Amino acid sequence: MPAYVHINLRIIDPAKQAALAPRFQTALQEAGGRILYFGRVAQVLEGDDMPLPMAGVLEFPTLTQALAFYDSEAYAPIKAERREAQQATMFVVETA
C-alpha cells in the first residue's frame, strides 16, 4: 500500500534550500520515493491555524520504505541541513 509524506514548510535560507534540492531528490529516488507536489499552499480550506506557505507531498510504495528513507544514513545529513534551510512540519499516511 502506498504511503504519502506531507511536508508543510517555510524556506528560511533559500541558498541552502537550493543546494539541498538535487541531493534530496537523488536520495529520495534511490529510496523508491518521488515528489508528487512541491510548491505554494493555494488556499486554506478549514481550520484556524495558518499553514506555512509551502507544501510538499512525497509518495513511497510502502510505509516501510517511507520510514526507512526518513531514518536512513543517506538522508541523515540532508535532514540536518534541511532543518537549517527550512522550518517544517511533516507526517506520513498509509493508504488502505
* Domain assignment present for 61: yes
End-to-end CA distance of the chain: 6
Summarize pLDDT for 12-47 with one digit per residue, the tens: 999 999 999 999 999 999 999 999 999 999 998 998
What is the domain-level CATH number for residue 63? 3.30.70.100
Query: Which domain range does residue 30 map to?
Result: 3-39+54-94
* Domain assignment present for 72: yes
Q: How many domains does the chain have?
A: 1
* Domain assignment present for 87: yes
* Domain assignment present for 47: no
* Domain assignment present for 45: no
* Domain assignment present for 48: no
Summarize pLDDT for 45-81 with one digit per residue, the tens: 998 788 899 999 999 999 999 999 999 999 999 999 9
Asked if 67 and 5 count as a contact pair (C-beta separation under 8 A), the reply is no
